[in-house]
Structure 1
Amino acid sequence: MQHYLIGLAGILLILGLAVLLSANRRAIRLRVVGAAFALQAAIAVIVLYMPAGRTALQWMAGGVANLLGYANAGTSFLFGQLAADPLGKNFAIQALPVIIFFAALVSILYHLGVMQQIVRWIGGAIEQVIGVSKVESLCAAANIFVGQSESPLVIRPYLAGLTPPQLFTVMTSGMAGVAGTILAAYASMGIRIDYLLAASFMSAPGGILMAKLMMPDMPAPEPELPLGTDTEEAELVLAEATHDEERPANIIMAAAQGAQTGVRLAVAVGAMVLAFVALVALANGLLAGLGNMVGVPGLSFERLLGFVFAPVMWLLNVPWREALVAGGLFGQKIVLNEFVSYISLGQQAANLSERTVAVVTFALCGFANFSSIAIQMAVTGSLAPNQRPVIAKLGIRALVAASLANLMSAALAGLLIG
C-alpha cells in the first residue's frame, strides 16, 4: 500500500511541477492533457501489468533480440573473437556496429514504405485519442522510431508555419523520445529490451502531455503550407526527405545509404561517449581532491547530482538506500547524455533492486539533455530558419518538459513493476 501512495505522490508532483511552470495555466485544455495522460498510463498498464500485454511486449523484445543476433553476425565477421566478449564488455565493438545495422534496416523499411504506414497509423491514433493537430501527432509518432534529427522531416513543409506552442510540442516530443537505432544500441549494452520498448511508446503521449501543460494553446487550425508547396510534398515522405543524398533507387542503395548514415551516427556517438566519460573522470578527480581538502572524502560528480535528484527518485518508488545512485544517473543523463548514464547503469545494475533498475531505465530513455537544444537548433532551424529564435527561446523549457515526460514514464513503471 505504501508503495502505491508514494508512486501516486510522485505522479502528482510531476503534474504539479508542469502546471507550476506553465506559460498560461488558464489555457490548459483538460480534455487534451487528460487524454494524453490516460493514453500514457494505459500503455503502461497494458504492457507492464496485464498478462497479455506483457506477453506481447516480451514477444517484441524477443524480436529485437533476434535482430541484435543478426547484427552480431556482421560484427563477428569484421572483428572476429573480439565480438565474442560478454555483452556490454566492449562498447565500441558491440554497441556501435548495432547502430549501423539498424540504420540500414530502417532505411530499407522506409524505402519499402513500411515505416511510413506505421507512423501514419500511430499518428492518426494519437490525433484522434488526444485531440492534437495532425502535424503534432505525426511528429510524436515518428519520434518512436527515428530521432529528433529526423522526425522534423516528417512535417518539413509545415515547420515554418507552426505556432510557438505547436513547435514546443515538436521539440518536447523529440527530446522525450529516442531513435530506434539508438534503442538497439542500449539493448546491446545489456539494458532490458522490454523496458526500453515500453518507454519508447510511452514517450509519445508523455511528451504531448508535458508540452500541453507547460505551453498550452487554444484549438488552432492545421498549419498552412507555404505558397508554391505541392500538397503531395506534405505527405509523410521521410524516406524521400534527404538533402545531401539522392533518393535510393532500390533496396541495395537504400541499405547502403542507411549504413553510411549509421556510420556517421556511430562515430558521433563513440566520440561523444569517449569525451564525456573522460570529462566525468576529470571532474571526479578534481572533486575528490577538493573533497579531501574540505573533509568530504569520496566527493564525485555522480554523488553531487545524486543529492539533487535523490528525493525525486524516491518518489518514483526507488528505495531510499538506492535513491542517491539513481538520482546521480538521472542527473548525468541531463547534464551529459543518456548513453553515459546507461553505461553506468549497466555497471551498477547487479547492486540495485529490480524496481530501481526498471525506474532508472524508463527515466533515462530519452534525448532530454543540454546538447539536444543545440541539435534542434541546427536541424529544425535549418529546415525553418524563421523558427530559430523561437527554438532558442524554448530550448530550456522543452528540456524540462521532456525530462518530466521521462520521469512520468518512470513513475508509472515504478507503480506497476515489482
Structure 2
Amino acid sequence: MDILLGILAVGVILGIAFLMSNDRKNINFKGIGIMIGAQLLITFFMFNTEIGQTIISGISWGFNKLIEFGTQGVNFVLGGVEVGENGVFFFNVLLIIIFFATILSVLTYLKVLPFIIKYLGWGLSKITGLPKVESFNAVNSIFFGQSEALLAIKSQFHNLNDNRLYIVSASAMGSVSASIVGAYLNMLPDQYILVALPLNMFSALIVASIISPVKVSKEEDHVDIQDVSNAKSFFEAMGNGALDGGKIALIVASMLIAFIASLELVNAIFGAVFNGFTLQELLGYIIAPIGLLMGIPTAEVLDAGAIMGTKIVTNEFVAMLEFQSMLDGVSDKTAGIVTVFLTSFANFSSIGIIAGTVQGIDSEKGGRVSGFGLKLLVGATLGSMLSATIAGLFL
C-alpha cells in the first residue's frame, strides 16, 4: 500500500509540474524517465544493499572526521568560553562551516572539484539529453552555494533564454552547498542527508525540465567554466575559503535570529487571534494530504507537515533545529522523508539570493528571475517532495 501511495505521490508531483509547464510539447520525457530511474537505482543501492550501506558509512565517517578536525580549530579559539549543557549552536555547528568552506576552496584551486564536476556534468548531459550548461550547473550546485554555482556559468548567460534561466535557477535552489553539509550532519541522520544530495540534483532537473522545457542547437550547447575562486596560491585559496566560510556562518546565524524571532512573533499573533493555534500547525494541515501520499504515517503527518512548511517560509536550518528535537518520537520512515525534504535551499529567502546573484551578472535577466520567483519556489518545493517520496519508497 505504501508503495502504491508513493507512486501516486510521484504522479501528483509530476502532474502539478506538467500543469505549470509553459511548453508541454517539448518536454523531454525520455530524459525525465532516465533521471527518475537513476533516482530509484541510487536510493535502492544506498538503502538496500550492503555495498551501498558501506559507502554511506564511509562517507559519513569521512564527514564526521572532518567535523572533528574543524571542532579542534573552533575549540582552540573558543575553548575557554563557558557554555551550557547543550552547547551553543553557533559554536558547535555553524563555525564548522569555515573549515568545510576552506577544504572546498583548496580542492577548487587544485582543480580536483572542477575536474569532477565537468565530467559528471558531461555524463549527465549525455544520458539525459539535457544541455551541457544545465547539466554542469546541476552537478556544480551539489558542491557550491547558490551564488557560486550561478557565477561559475556567468559567461553563458547571454545564451540563456527564460526557460534555461529557470532551470539553472531551480538547480541552485533545489540543492545545498557542500560547505554546510557538515552543519546538517550535526543535526539530522547522516544517511538521509547524504542520499538527499544526488536525489535533489535529479529532482530539480526533472521538475524544472517539465515546467520549462529546453531545446538548444549544437552551437549553443557548450560550457565555458569560469573559475570563481581567483586564488593564485594554495594558501590564498585557504584564506579565501576561510573568509567565505566565516561570512556564510555569520549570514546563517543572522538569518536564524531573524527568522526564529519573526516566527515567534507570528505565532504570538496567531495564538491571540486563533486561541493558541500556530503557523506551524496551519502549515501542517495544508501539507498533510501530500505528506500522506509521500508515505508519512497518519499519526505523524501533521507534525511532519508543520516542519516541512516551516522550512518553506523560513529556511532549512530553522526547520532542522525543530525536527532534531522530534527525532526520538517519529518513525524511521518519517525521519527519512522529512530529512530528505529539508536538505535543499527551497524557501522564500532563496528567491532573493538567486535573483540578486543573477542581477549582478545580467540586470535584465535578474528582473526576469524576480518575475518568476514564486514559480521557482513552487518548482523547487515540488522537487524536494519528489526526492522525499523516492526515499520513502525504500524505507
Shared topology, TM-score over 0.5? yes
The alpha-carbon distance between structure 1 residues 83 and 35, as it changes in their structure 2 partners (threshold 3 A), is farther
Q: Which structure 1 segments of 5+ residues have no match?
A: 226-233, 293-297
Give aligned pairs, total: 395
Could you report, residue by residue, the CA deviation over 1:18-41 in whole angstroms, capped at 9, with x for unpaired residues? 112211222212112212222222
Tell me how far 1:140 sits from its aligned partner: 0.3
Letter in 2 for 1:120: K
Q: Which structure 2 segments of 5+ residues have no match?
A: none
Letter in 1 for 2:40: A
CA distance in 2 between counterparts of 1:21 and 1:83 reads 53
Q: Do the aligned partners of 2:31 and 2:129 also contact (CA within 8 Å) in 1?
A: yes
Letter in 1 for 2:7: L
Cross-structure match for 2:329: 351
Cross-structure match for 1:263: 246
Q: Does 1:76 align with 2:65?
A: no
Tell me how far 1:81 sits from its aligned partner: 6.2
Could you report, residue by residue, the CA deviation over 1:64-94 in whole angstroms, capped at 9, with x for unpaired residues? 11111111111111222669877x7421111
> 1:188-207 residue pairs with structure 2 within 5 A?
188=186, 190-207=187-204
Tell me how far 1:248 sits from its aligned partner: 2.3
Tell me how far 1:336 sits from its aligned partner: 0.8
Cross-structure match for 1:295: none
Q: Does 1:413 align with 2:391?
A: yes
Q: Do the aligned partners of 1:119 and 1:141 also contact (CA within 8 Å) in 2?
A: yes
Letter in 2 for 1:289: A
CA distance in 2 between counterparts of 1:221 and 1:377 reads 28
The alpha-carbon distance between structure 1 residues 36 and 83, as it changes in their structure 2 partners (threshold 3 A), is farther
Aligned residue for 1:144, secondary structure, equals helix
Worse overlay, 192-201 or 268-277 = 192-201
The alpha-carbon distance between structure 1 residues 209 and 56, as it changes in their structure 2 partners (threshold 3 A), is same
CA distance in 2 between counterparts of 1:379 and 1:404 reads 23
Letter in 1 for 2:103: L
Q: Does 1:374 align with 2:352?
A: yes
Q: Does 1:9 align with 2:8?
A: yes
CA distance in 1 between counterparts of 2:360 and 2:138 reads 20
Q: Does 1:223 align with 2:201?
A: no
CA distance in 1 between counterparts of 2:43 and 2:382 reads 16
The alpha-carbon distance between structure 1 residues 138 and 302, as it changes in their structure 2 partners (threshold 3 A), is same
Letter in 1 for 2:292: W
Letter in 2 for 1:198: V
Cross-structure match for 1:20: 19
Cross-structure match for 1:164: 162
Could you report, residue by residue, the CA deviation over 1:309-356 in whole angstroms, capped at 9, with x for unpaired residues? 011111111111110011111111111111100111111111111110
Q: Do the aligned partners of 2:152 and 2:226 also contact (CA within 8 Å) in 1?
A: yes
Cross-structure match for 2:184: 186
Q: Do the aligned partners of 1:82 and 1:93 also contact (CA within 8 Å) in 2?
A: no
Letter in 2 for 1:390: R
Out of 142, 163, 169, the position equivalent to 1:144 is 142
Could you report, residue by residue, the CA deviation over 1:8-66 in whole angstroms, capped at 9, with x for unpaired residues? 11111111111122112222121122122222222222212232122212211111111
Q: Do the aligned partners of 1:126 and 1:205 also contact (CA within 8 Å) in 2?
A: no
Letter in 2 for 1:60: I
Aligned residue for 1:416, secondary structure, equals coil
Q: Do the aligned partners of 2:131 and 2:221 also contact (CA within 8 Å) in 1?
A: no
Cross-structure match for 1:250: 233
Runs of 4+ in 1 over 6 A off after TM superposition: 83-86
Could you report, residue by residue, the CA deviation over 1:166-224 in whole angstroms, capped at 9, with x for unpaired residues? 11110110111000112111112x21122111101111121110011111123444538
Q: CA RMSD in A?
A: 1.8
Q: Does 1:288 align with 2:266?
A: no
- Percent identical among aligned pairs is 30
CA distance in 2 between counterparts of 1:172 and 1:323 reads 27
The alpha-carbon distance between structure 1 residues 299 and 160, as it changes in their structure 2 partners (threshold 3 A), is same
Cross-structure match for 1:109: 107
The alpha-carbon distance between structure 1 residues 158 and 83, as it changes in their structure 2 partners (threshold 3 A), is farther
The alpha-carbon distance between structure 1 residues 13 and 81, as it changes in their structure 2 partners (threshold 3 A), is farther
